[in-house]
């Protein structure tokens, strides 16, 4: 009898998690290892229903000073729900050889407080799921610091090249549109 009562809550948990997965946008299904940490980032749990900027980064890219602008943008809008996810990548041969060095560049050199993952593939057939879906919804990153603005439903509403600075009026307009979107 006791086993039957224990099985009922387990069934509700299982049903609840499958319902959660059904509500999770395709873009946010899966997880990424967090930069220089032991835990993973459950993309759905962390970002579902929130406006989001996803950016592929590289520690030794000439655009790396954009970390400061991305951090400023995050600080400006985080109280309104904006999230930023930085995904380091060596796809363009400008990323550090290990996560510790990448973490130093992001956290120490640029003061990043937004979420960062360990380096990932962001282009081609080996790209992580997140970037495959970003490419399907818009285009694959053409270089480091390619920025995607995602609305609360997990849809790309704009993407920007490396040349677009985080404080550009076009990017800010897209962020404000994402903030105004309905979950």
Residue 124: both structure tokens together: 């081609």
The residue-averaged pLDDT of 64-93 equals: 98
CA distances 94 to 119, 126, 143, Å, are 11, 18, 10
- 35 in Cβ contact with 99 (< 8 Å): yes
The residue-averaged pLDDT of 57-68 equals: 98
The residue-averaged pLDDT of 65-87 equals: 98
Q: Which fold has domain 25-180?
A: Glutaredoxin (3.40.30)
Burial of 155 (0-12, 13-18, 19+ CB in 10 A): middle
The residue-averaged pLDDT of 118-137 equals: 97
- By annotation, the residues acting in catalysis are 61
Using a cut of 0.85, tell me whether the model's pTM lies above it.
yes
CA distances 65 to 69, 100, 127, Å, are 7, 19, 25
Which of 69, 59, 98, 60 lies closest to 167 in space, CA to CA? 69
- Residue 170, pLDDT > 90, answer yes
- Residue 8, pLDDT > 50, answer no
Model confidence at 22, pLDDT cuts 50, 70, 90, reads low
Proportion of the chain above pLDDT 70, given as a percent: 88
Model confidence at 15, pLDDT cuts 50, 70, 90, reads very low
- Residue 137, pLDDT > 80, answer yes
The residue-averaged pLDDT of 77-87 equals: 98
- Residue 18, pLDDT > 90, answer no
- 59 in Cβ contact with 109 (< 8 Å): no
């Amino acid at each position: 009898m006791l086993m039957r009562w224990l099985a009922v809550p387990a069934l509700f948990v299982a049903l609840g998690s499958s319902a959660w997965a059904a509500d999770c946008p395709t873009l946010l299904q899966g997880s990424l290892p967090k930069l220089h940490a032991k835990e993973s980032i459950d993309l759905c749990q962390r970002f579902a229903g929130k406006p989001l900027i996803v950016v592929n980064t590289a520690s030794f890219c000439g655009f790396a000073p954009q970390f400061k602008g991305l951090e400023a943008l995050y600080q400006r809008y985080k109280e309104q729900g904006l999230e930023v996810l930085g995904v380091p990548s060596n796809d363009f041969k400008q990323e550090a050889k290990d996560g510790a060095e990448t973490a130093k560049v992001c956290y120490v050199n640029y003061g990043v407080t937004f979420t960062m993952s360990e380096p990932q593939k962001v282009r081609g057939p080996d790209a992580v799921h997140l970037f495959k879906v970003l490419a399907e919804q818009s285009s694959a990153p053409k270089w480091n610091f390619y920025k995607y603005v995602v609305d609360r439903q997990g849809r790309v509403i704009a993407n920007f090249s490396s040349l677009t600075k985080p404080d550009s009026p076009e990017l800010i307009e897209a962020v404000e549109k994402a903030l105004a979107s309905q979950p």
